[in-house]
Amino acid sequence: MDPVLIIACGALARELKAVIAANGWQHVQLQCLPADLHNRPERIPEAVREKIRAGRARFTRILVGYADCGTGGLLDRVLEEEGVERLPGAHCYEFYAGTQAFTALADAEPGSFYLTDFLVRHFERLVIRELGIERHPELASMYFGNYRRLVYLAQAEDAQLHEQARQAAARLGLEFHYQFTGYGGLHTAIVRFQRQQGRDARTEQVSWQS
């Protein structure tokens, strides 16, 4: 099969590697950008563009493992210019939970702060330290004063992560809500992309032979 490159957010690395391994895709390579870019979403589009252009010489097909991720449509503009597809949705919470389930969560409590397995593992670094709460605890109420609950969208059934998420909610003074999602729409989207590429490749071959 033609070589495929997935350019992804580092926050999805563990799950994407698992999907690739589970399907035995030897022809798929994963390259991740730092998850810290989510704190500077305006930098994501050009960082992705650089990866796309660097990968074109080696890879026939490229998929971008980002949702919009706070870029306000700028990532989609870059991908349209480069002719590359991305994962569906506004953010990883949506494609993990699924659009319908995520909409229901948001409607039930608009003031929800979401965590995934990755964000639970790196809560201290990405939330407490990056937002300056470690040095200035009073900032927690400024950042999270309008939130009511913390929603942990779990990819793995892990008791330790569950407890860490619960502690994170308590630290921010938020109600705790747990919802197991598994890989959700992430797995579905990657498999669909692979199948589509396979159909496209067969169509190209038939057209060439005819």
Task: Give which of 48, 41, 40 is closest to 78, Cα–Cα.
Answer: 48
> Could you please report the per-residue DSSP string of 144-203?
HTT--EEEEEESS--HHHHHHHHHHHHHHT-EEEEEE-TTHHHHHHHHHHHHHHHHHHHH
- Mention every residue, 6+ apart, whose C-beta is less than 8 A from residue 44: 33, 37, 38, 66, 69, 70, 71, 74, 75
DSSP 64: E
In the chain, the domains with their CATH numbers are 4-92+184-209 (3.40.50), 99-180 (no CATH)
Instruction: Look at residue 198 in the predicted model and tell me its pLDDT.
Output: 58
The pLDDT tens digits of the residues spanning 179-210 come to 999 998 888 888 888 877 655 544 333 333 33
The pLDDT tens digits of the residues spanning 131-144 come to 999 999 999 999 99
Tokens of 110: 């608009």
The pLDDT tens digits of the residues spanning 172-181 come to 999 999 999 9
Cα-only R_g, the chain: 19
Question: pTM of the prediction?
Answer: 0.83
Q: How far is it, in rounded angstroms, from Cα 31 to Cα 210?
A: 37
Instruction: Look at residue 197 in the predicted model and tell me its pLDDT.
Output: 66
